[in-house]
Amino acid sequence: MKILVINPNTSAAMTEAIAQASREAASPGTEIVAVNPSFGPLSIEGHFDEAWGAAGVAEQAHLARAWQPAATVIACFGDPGLNAAREALRGPVIGIAEAAFQAASMVAEGFSVVTTMTRTCGIAEHLVQRYGFEHQCRGVHGTDIAVLSLEDCPPETVAQIEDAARQALARDRSSAIVLGCAGMAPLCRLLTQRLGVPVIDGVSVAVKWGESLAALGLHTSKAGDYAHPLPKTYLGWAKPYGWSSE
């Protein structure tokens, strides 16, 4: 089966790192197609960036109509454009934040999120509420590590994330760590070894669940709120992305 992994930022290097992590998680026979939008911010570190990231996800989901992936992963921790992609596509669409929270809640009674810029903590906290994990998520912690500095992650940055995770485990009385950025996916194995608790990278969980839901024959319901968008004229540069019924 073919799984589409959309990195909502426009960093080609990060898309490649996410593709690599996705391929390591995928079963033999699963093909990972990793893409990023043709426009928008190089990294998503706030609401303004996220609005453009969501539009970029809509662009890529619209393009994927032509081949209908078996499942789609939205690989940015704010899950930008998740519901838009669900409307556009038939296969299941999974956000890495929701996948990570679900997985963490199954392996630990309480978990902490360690993320990038402190200013993005509110976005993660809103997702915790929206997905209903207020009782399991015991804290969201910013490190003020810029997303793009994860591309070429030096040992000091890894040490900083490890340190933040140790403090979170102690302060929150939690017993698992959720990595709050797709760019942290390559660090998951190393941090698991160092911390000795489950460390959850939403990219790999979302790929695995995408495969599982597709293998079960489940698709996004078109009977209700995730029905295809209404056919409509879009103006300006977004003109090609207005939905048409064919």
Question: Which residues of the shown chain bind ligand 2AL in the complex (CB under 6 A)?
Answer: 9, 43-45, 76-78, 115-116, 120, 147, 180-183
Pick 44 or 165: Cβ nearer ligand 2AL: 44
Contact 104, 136 (CB under 8 A): yes
Q: Which is nearer to ligand 2AL, 11 or 214 (CB)?
A: 11
Q: How near is the Cβ of 52 to ligand 2AL at its closest, in Å?
A: 11
Closer residue to ligand 2AL in complex, CB, 181/197: 181
Q: How far is the CB of 180 from ligand 2AL (least distance, A)?
A: 5
- For the chain, where are the E strands, in sequence order? 2-6, 31-35, 71-74, 93-95, 111-115, 137-141, 177-180, 199-200
Least distance from ligand 2AL to the Cβ atom of residue 94, Å:
14
Query: Which pair of structure tokens corresponds to residue 95?
Result: 């956000």
Length of the chain equals 246
Closest CA to 37 of 68, 77, 4, 67: 4
| Minimal distance, residue 128 CB to ligand 2AL, in Å | 13
Tell me if residue 98 falls in helix, strand or coil: helix
The smaller minimum CB distance to ligand 2AL, of residues 3 and 76, is found at 76
CA 35/CA 148 separation, integer angstroms: 17
